[in-house]
Every structure is written in C-alpha cells, then in structure tokens.
C-alpha cells in the first residue's frame, strides 16, 4: 500500500472483526511512528495500548462510571455554522448507515455509547502527555496519531480516534497508574480489522473542496 492509498482508505471504523491484533504488528507500527514530525524534537506523545483482560477491566470501569467534566473543549468550532454543518453532515451519514432515525434519541445514545467499549475493537491505545505541553505539542501529537493511523493501514488494520475517552480521563489515569497532576489525557484510539460489510464502515464522507482551504500563489 502506498501513502496515497493509506490516506484515502483511512476512515473512522466503528465495527471490527472478532480478530486479535498481533503484538509484533503493533510494535512494528509504533516503532516506525516514532519518526513522526516533532517541533524542537520534544516528542511529547505517550501511550498505553491494551488488549485482553487489561482492556476489559478498564472498559468495565468506564461503563460503570459517570462521565466527568471535560478538561479540554473539542466542541468550540460549532459556534460557527460552517463547522457545525460539517459535523452534522458526518453525523447524518453515520446514523443513516445505522438506520437510526433523527428523532430516535434512545437509539442514538446507544450508538454513541459504544464509544465506551471502543466499538469492541480488539486493541485500544490511550494517549496522553505531560501537562506542561502546549498547543504546538498537541499538534505534534496529532501528527504522530495520523502517522500511526496510516502505518496501521499499511498493515491492513484500521482505527478510530476517540476524543470521547476524555470523559473518563480520571478512570483511565487511575487504571494506567498515571499522575493526575502531571499527566494530561488526550484520547483513545480503537485498533483492529474493519468489518468490510458493516454499513457504518461504508457510508460516503465529504471533504471541503481544496479551493476552500488552500491558496496557491506564484504559479501562472
């Protein structure tokens, strides 16, 4: 698989096959991802990847604990209509694929609740970094996460980024033995083999036209 194929076939997968992820494969991916871009070479990202009983134990704690107040805001862009429409567009595509009506609040909540068990992915990565890291280092962590996602595609694996997990930052920090005062929890990442037949993995997604985002200056 080349880079273009990895980029264009990567998507948030929300239905996985019941197939374990081999340790050697994951270690190979994570070892390569160390070479992601990093301003000033700080390499701020840290993570724990869980499978089997350690993952089940954590998910049992998550599903039995009320969500906490978020430590960072991912919803701020909704203040502008253009960004809100992009969110609503992808949400509509997902719920239509799941055949869940707009007015079926209970079914929508149940579908969103599957985030708590990372859509039954066989492995989940939990991402965090020291609290002293600021916006540039958050950006570096995002570049590292994208690198991981593309390397997973190269191995035939898929993923789903889960900022949802920030609702359970305290539970996750406790489970992983992380210092609450020093460590900022960022997100989860479901990892596994996509179910190719699941409608939720196949609905059409839209991207903003290139001309709306990028200007090219100096070419005739």
Terminal-to-terminal C-alpha distance of the chain: 34
> What confidence tier does 88 reach under pLDDT thresholds 50, 70, 90?
very high
Q: How far apart are CA 153 and CA 150, in angstroms?
A: 5
Answer for the pair 207, 8: CB distance below 8 angstroms, yes or no: no
How far out from the chain centre does Cα 50 lie? 15
The answer to the question of residue 38 being in a domain is yes
CA–CA distance, 103 with 119 (Å, rounded to integer):
23
Is 209 contained in some domain?
no
Continuous segment of H or E residues that includes residue 14: none
Determine, yes or no, domain membership for 217: no
Q: The CATH number of the domain where 133 resides is what?
A: 3.40.109.10
pTM: 0.96
**For residue 16, is it within any domain?**
yes
Quote the percentage of the chain above a pLDDT of 90. 99
Looking at the domain assignment, is residue 35 inside a domain? yes
Decide if pLDDT at 1 tops 90: no
Does some domain include residue 105? no
Q: Please check whether residue 67 lies inside any domain of the structure.
A: yes
- Enclosing domain of residue 156: 3-73+116-203
pLDDT greater than 90 at residue 59: yes
pLDDT at 219: 94
Q: Is the pLDDT of residue 147 over 90?
A: yes
Decide if 169 contacts 71 (C-beta within 8 A): yes
Q: How many C-beta atoms lie closer than 10 Å to residue 31's C-beta?
A: 10
Stated length of the chain? 220
pLDDT of 220 strictly over 90: no
Q: Give the CA dihedral 200, 127, 172, 177, nearest 10 degrees.
A: 150
Q: Is residue 59 part of a domain?
A: yes
**Alpha-helical regions (H) of 20-134:** 23-33, 52-63, 81-97, 105-113
Pairing of strands 183-192, 123-130: antiparallel
pLDDT band at residue 62 under the 50/70/90 scheme: very high
Query: How many distinct structural domains can be found in the chain?
Result: 1
How does pLDDT run across 33-47, given as a tens digit for each residue?
Answer: 999 999 999 999 999
Distance (Å, rounded) from C-alpha 11 to C-alpha 159?
7
Q: Averaged over 204-211, what is the pLDDT?
A: 94
- Please report where in the chains the tokens 């929508």 appear, as a residue: 108
């Amino acid at each position: 698989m080349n880079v273009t194929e990895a980029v264009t076939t990567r998507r948030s997968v929300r239905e996985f096959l019941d197939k374990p992820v081999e340790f050697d494969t994951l270690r190979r991916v994570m070892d390569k991802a160390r070479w992601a871009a990093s301003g000033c070479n700080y390499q701020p990202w840290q993570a724990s990847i869980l499978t089997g009983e350690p993952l089940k134990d954590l998910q049992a704690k998550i599903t039995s604990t009320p969500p906490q107040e978020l430590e960072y805001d991912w919803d701020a862009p909704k203040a502008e209509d253009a960004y809100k429409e992009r969110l609503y567009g992808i949400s509509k595509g997902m719920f239509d694929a799941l055949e869940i009506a707009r007015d079926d609040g209970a079914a929508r909540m149940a579908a969103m609740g599957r985030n708590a068990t990372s859509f039954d992915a066989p492995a989940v990565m939990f991402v965090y970094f020291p609290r002293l890291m600021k916006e540039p280092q958050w950006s570096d962590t995002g570049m590292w996460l994208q690198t991981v996602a593309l390397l997973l595609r190269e191995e035939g694996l898929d993923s789903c980024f889960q900022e949802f997990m920030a609702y359970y930052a305290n539970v996750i920090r406790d489970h992983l033995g992380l210092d609450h005062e020093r460590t900022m929890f960022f997100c989860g990442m479901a990892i596994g083999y996509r179910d190719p037949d699941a409608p939720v993995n196949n609905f059409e997604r839209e991207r903003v036209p290139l001309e709306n985002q990028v200007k090219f200056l100096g070419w005739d």
